[in-house]
Amino acid sequence: MDWNLSLLFVFGHLLHWGSSADGLVRRLFLRFYIRYEVPIFKLALRFIYSRWSDFWIFKKLFIIFIGYPVKKWGETGYPLLASEVKDFIASLPDKTVFSLGDCRCRLSVKGPCERYHQGLCPHPLLTEIGISWGAVYYKKEPPEKERHRVATREEILRVIDDGLQNDLVPCLYSFCIAGGIEGREYVICNCCKGRCAPILLRKKGINMMMDGHYQARALPENCTGCGDCLESCPLDAVSVDPVLKIGDCFGCGLCAKKCPSGAIKMVAR
């Protein structure tokens, strides 16, 4: 018997089950991932803020063995503009289950945020929005199973609006084990620049996120150099000295929202 072909056949079927949004294999992996997500992020950040990450070879090994597989076959997400996140929620069927719980990053990642370390963080903790199977499994898994609860569509829209007022970025995460993103969304995080693990990793050159559908475009002729946009960018991608420039942009839209002179526009990629 050709064992290679048999294994391929079995593996193909597993991926087939896993590749549907409700697939058994995908749900098993999702539940496993939700249980161990926090220790994975803690380890990743501990590594990236250690001196080991200064060595090119260790960073490359991290990307090959953790960063790439997690992004490709585990979890990945992208930022949404305010209008997009509302359209996405409106597009979900009436029977969709939502949940609300503590942000896992702000709960467990200290990060470099000075305001947090001074006890001045303005962001609420209750901003993690589970969707469908995400809502089911978040309620069952530590560290926040005590506080995670079912929420209504109106409630989660309010949480997103409050987050946008506070400069949080709604990011839509999918969990997929056979490639593909759409239909596999399981959580909307409302991310901040100081303690969001995927944002902190991207700033250190390990990109486990995807770019959003839009990107910032600079219109330097409108820029007065006031600097209101500088602090807002989660990736520190905006500079105005000597002229307005945008670097690595994942498309959150915060800089365009802050600019009083219309010098930054969000345009489709």
Interface positions with ligand SF4 (CB under 6 A): 216, 223-229, 232-235, 237-238, 240, 244, 246, 249-255, 258-259, 261, 263-264
| Cα–Cα distance, 210 to 84 (Å, whole number) | 15
| Cα–Cα distance, 257 to 121 (Å, whole number) | 21
Nearer to ligand SF4, 123 or 258 (CB): 258
Nearer to ligand SF4, 69 or 262 (CB): 262
Nearer to ligand SF4, 194 or 253 (CB): 253
Q: Reduce the DSSP state of residue 55 to 3 states and report it.
A: coil
Nearer to ligand SF4, 34 or 208 (CB): 208
**Cβ-Cβ contacts under 8 Å for 124 (sequence gap 6 or more):** 162, 166
Adjacent-strand bridge partners of 75: 175
Nearer to ligand SF4, 157 or 235 (CB): 235
What's the min distance (Å) between Cβ of 232 and ligand SF4?
Answer: 5
Nearer to ligand SF4, 25 or 237 (CB): 237
What's the min distance (Å) between Cβ of 228 and ligand SF4?
Answer: 4
Nearer to ligand SF4, 29 or 250 (CB): 250
Question: Burial of 98 by CB count in 10 Å (0-12 exposed, 13-18 middle, 19+ buried)?
Answer: buried
What's the min distance (Å) between Cβ of 234 and ligand SF4?
Answer: 6
What's the min distance (Å) between Cβ of 132 and ligand SF4?
Answer: 28
What's the min distance (Å) between Cβ of 160 and ligand SF4?
Answer: 17
What's the min distance (Å) between Cβ of 152 and ligand SF4?
Answer: 29
Maximum distance among all alpha carbons in the chain? 73
Which has the closest alpha carbon to 229: 211, 248, 246, 212?
246
Please give the C-alpha separations between residue 86 and each of 150, 166, 180, in angstroms, as whole numbers: 19, 17, 22
Alpha-helical runs (H) found in 204-263: 254-258
What's the min distance (Å) between Cβ of 157 and ligand SF4?
Answer: 22
With vertex at residue 59, the alpha carbon angle to CA 57 and CA 62, rounded to the nearest 5 degrees, is: 110
What secondary structure letter does DSSP report for 67? Answer: I
| Cα–Cα distance, 25 to 16 (Å, whole number) | 9
